[in-house]
Chains A and B, each alone.
Chain A
């Protein structure tokens, strides 16, 4: 008889980033259903669903409750970095696993987290390279005032400045703020080669709408002349942005609905069958979907859901995901993913402009990154330069 394994699903399906969180939770439901229908598995998942409503304290309380009182070993969830940082101590204390399924700014590798979303070498580095090559090296940066925007702007600045370019202005808005008019005036004055947008949610939609109005008045700021680029823009958000303004938006992402593959066609068909024909999947829903499937595969392999055994079985494992082959890196528990760049269309989809030839090793600390040669992909072990070693290594004298 199939035994039930409780897993936590922790998504803020109400609150300021609920559009994204609902798409993420959908990815989890889809994968749980797939696992539970899999006849080769002698277990099934019983999801414990919590909505922390974007409140940090709720995140921590929910994790304490699940890990301490319900003895849950695995929780899939969190979207923002602040919520992830808030709950990691709980997972370390109870030695349980958090499956973090979203792109983020990197510079972390907890032993109690598996990261299935994109690392900075998957999102901001390929985007910077592409924008510099195709549009120029003067960027205008606007972002929501928290770590995601700060860190991405810093990486972008380093790449641009190392290549003779600059960030002409760097502006931050409070999360949820729609105060974007002064930015438009500033952009009109500065005439950047492109905009890098790290706004989230409502602020992003308001900003893109305001740029669209500028474009209607002055075609010199059109999407081909001064495109808006973004590392977190996904299909569900194009609904909020509208068809006109969606055209020409450039998004850096490891997943787009428009990927042509058998796995992706099946993923989208299942997604629509579950959530309606109008429902659209996103990179984050795919990352959640991947996380649940990898978890199930590891539990099947070791025959237990104990966190330690599952982690050991997860490192180095792989699945054929909608985006292509995904492998969990043995060193840092992030995933090999396939960077892509998409251009927004008016039908809530992206045309794929660039696609990495193969999955790229995650580099959360940008150890193998060189701002002067952003083209060099050094994340792949085979092309890594030899570590600097002294010719005559002195002996330690006892």
Chain B
């Protein structure tokens, strides 16, 4: 099996009912491991079916095949359905190239730095908070 690691961390966001997670993917996602590794993300989605905000850190992701892209598209669909959002940070040029050729960059925004991606994600959390409770001042902590 090709080496790949998925690490899930919480992004502190003091907004009730909203979960924000940083997902670091390292190594190569291919036919030999992607079905197994995808279960980790599905578990996160199952635990947070509504208002889930995921920041994928692709800095150490070296390769992804079409099936990994299929999974990413499926996660996007499920998370968007639950009024959440996905962003991608620091993809290598070959990863960005493949995301572009399949058209996924039209659905999911990619950022060159983790801070930019986090800002975009948390800005949406703030907006969501204002929508959920317009009279309450939002307080979102950046991790």
A and B together in one complex: no
Query: Chain B residues in contact with chain A, CB under 8 A?
Result: none
Query: Chain A residues in contact with chain B, CB under 8 A?
Result: none
